[in-house]
A and B are shown apart, each in its own frame.
Chain A
Amino acid sequence: MMQQKNIGYYRLIMLNSLGRVVPDTLRGYTSATAYQSKNRILIPEKAVVTKPLFLDSISAIFDEYHISDGMTLSFHHHLRNGDGVLNAVCQEIKTRGIKHLTIAPSSIFPNNAIIVDLIIAGNITNIRTNYINGPAARPIDDGKLQGLLLMDTHGGRARAIESGDLPIDIAILACPTVDRNGNGSGTEGLSACGTLGYAQSDLRYAKKVILVTDTIVDKVKQIDLDGKYVDAIVQIDSIGDPEGIVSGTTKITKDPVGLKIARDAADFLYQAGVIKPGFSMQTGAGGTSLAVAAAVRKMMITKQIHGSFASGGTNGYYTDLLKEGWVDNLYDVQCFDLEAVRSYRDNSHHIAISASKYGNPYEPNPVVNNLSFVALGATEIDLDFNVNVTTDSLGRLIGGSGGHADTAHGADITIITTTLAKARLPIIKEHVTTITTPGEDVDVLVTERGIAINPRRVDLLEKMKNSNLTIMTISELMAISHQISGIPAAIKEPGKVTGLIVYRDGTILDQLYQRF
């Protein structure tokens, strides 16, 4: 419900249904199911290309397509912290002094520090992304970005592109191997990175699409990017550093507190009847999330329960699950390590999905809607179960939704696993600093001192009423954290608006602010 609030004579403030201020020129978030009564909006796909151009440098792209002030350039983030393409394009922008550009990379990592210079000099004035971590976030926090930072979810970015909300002039897509017909593969070549799920919408709807590669072959074995959309191909020495793209295999945490939380989460899921034959799951790929996957797997082995699928970004842990036959299929939108790349290449049950098929609310049956449960993290959670994974408690950018809000909506049960406090600071707040995922989609909070169930889930409260797990209200959990840590002081009032949190349906969930 949209409310207008009068403060004094001078300003009207628009609040969305969660009580957050939103720009009065845009639609504020109403509910997580509001999209169900709306129609899918699709702009026409881009022009098909019979024969792609072969260019010999990043610079040539700028000349050929007249990249100039005010344009929107998009990128995917499958090369993660080893990406060389976004950086090379930024370098070229800097050299040419082009201004007022919007960049729309699906994520921004610490090695994209060059963006700092471009923000300060005004080459880049607007950014639209799903995740931002590292030096590039700092000038945005400090109000140096002349325009706004818009943050989507992975599924929401697909929606934004296909509907024309995010119009892309040039999509510059890194691709490990490309063939003479413009088809791209993610599994061959020096910088193999696996599936290219975040590039699919850009590929179809950008005005022009350029593939940047370091390996050209006659014919790729497996087509991940359909050459018919590709306008040009650029070959450079190296598209990125394999170390940063796929680094080793993430290990399950050894921290005893994290392991206890993971065990309790798995116990909860079992007692709630979620882990039954044919169930499906997604967890994050970090150490603690993997511990949840490990605890669930242990349960699957003990009770001999097989799952239908696991989804997400995949890594060696999940490919083992597939190999050993504990799940029938993996639905993969990005590969985190070499194990995952190999499995995708060799195993027909390791299936690539686009970001749209993964989490676009307007897809007829996105993968997230079929999840039995998802286990996610949080920097903060509040008494309404709203979750923050975008900023820290000082309001500074440390991440972004990624697939958080998508999976939280689609999964039958959304479990947040976290310690009760991080370095003394309680995770449970009265109101989160930034809302990334609305509380109506968040069901359970599991901490080392207790579990809280969202009061909306009367069914879960009923199922778990005789459980031997320590279950209490989220207010009680917050009280415990305050008793241990002390009540944290309030932070200073925020300054000017620096960005917007865009919900997966395009409505505005919250704003980002300059903090001092």
Chain B
Amino acid sequence: MISGMAGTLESNDTMITVTPAEKMSIEVTSVVDAFYHDQIVKVIYDTLLEQKITNISVTCQDKGALDYTIRARLLTAISRMEEQDD
């Protein structure tokens, strides 16, 4: 199946896997879920919106990454997924 993955499970990093999907879904598990779960979902959602991508399923395993790391890993995962498609 086509998918893209980026990032690691190291502290302060985030591992993101994306696959094409019928509609947008974002699933996040984080070591700081109680404090940043919604914020992480927001960063992912905002980035997808900015990239004008909606038919994608995003899974994020987070180890306390800052917003820019989440954004970067997501963008990399998406471009890796798109490369597979070529």
Contact = CB atoms under 8 A, between A and B. Distances in A.
B66 A488 contact: no
Nearest to B67: A486
Given A393-B35, A489-B35, A423 B66 contact: no
B47 to A, nearest CB: 15
Interface residues of A, number: 11
Contact of A489 (B12, B38, B66): B38
A486 B34 contact: no
A241 B52 CA distance: 61
B32 A484 contact: no
Contact of B39 (A393, A394, A486, A491): A486
Nearest to B35: A488
Given A423-B64, A425-B64, A484-B66, A491 B36 contact: no
B11 interface: yes
Contacts of B34: 393-394, 489, 491
Contacts of B39: 486, 489
B67 A423 contact: no
A51 interface: no
B63 A423 contact: yes
Contacts of A394: 34
Interface in B7-38: 11-12, 31-32, 34-38
**Most chain B CB within a 10 A radius of its CB, from A484, A485, A491:** A485
B77 interface: no
B65 A424 contact: yes
A486 B63 CA distance: 15
Contacts of B12: 423-424
Given A486-B39, A489-B38, A489-B39, A425 B32 contact: yes
Count class of interface residues, chain B: 10 to 19
Interface in B29-86: 31-32, 34-39, 63-67
Contacts of B67: 486
A63 to B, nearest CB: 49
Contact of A485 (B11, B31, B66): B66
A394 B30 CA distance: 14
A425 B33 CA distance: 10
Contacts of A491: 34-35
A206 to B, nearest CB: 42
A423 B31 contact: yes
A424 B36 CA distance: 9
A342 B47 CA distance: 60
A484 B64 CA distance: 12
A394 B64 CA distance: 15
B51 to A, nearest CB: 21
A484 B36 CA distance: 13
A183 B39 CA distance: 61
A424 B68 CA distance: 12
A423 B11 contact: yes
A484 B67 CA distance: 9
A424 B38 contact: no
A491 B36 CA distance: 11
Contacts of A489: 34-39
30 contacts: A393-B34, A394-B34, A423-B12, A423-B31, A423-B32, A423-B63, A423-B64, A424-B12, A424-B32, A424-B35, A424-B36, A424-B64, A424-B66, A425-B35, A425-B36, A485-B36, A485-B66, A486-B36, A486-B39, A486-B66, A486-B67, A488-B32, A488-B35, A488-B36, A489-B34, A489-B35, A489-B37, A489-B39, A491-B34, A491-B35
Interface of B: 11-12, 31-32, 34-39, 63-67
Given A423-B31, A424-B32, 20 more contacts: A393-B35, A394-B34, A423-B63, A423-B64, A424-B12, A424-B64, A424-B65, A425-B35, A484-B66, A485-B36, A485-B66, A486-B39, A486-B67, A488-B35, A488-B36, A489-B36, A489-B37, A489-B38, A489-B39, A491-B35
Interface of A: 393-394, 423-425, 484-486, 488-489, 491
The 10 closest A-B pairs by CB, nearest first: A423-B64, A488-B35, A424-B64, A486-B39, A489-B35, A424-B32, A425-B32, A491-B34, A423-B31, A394-B34
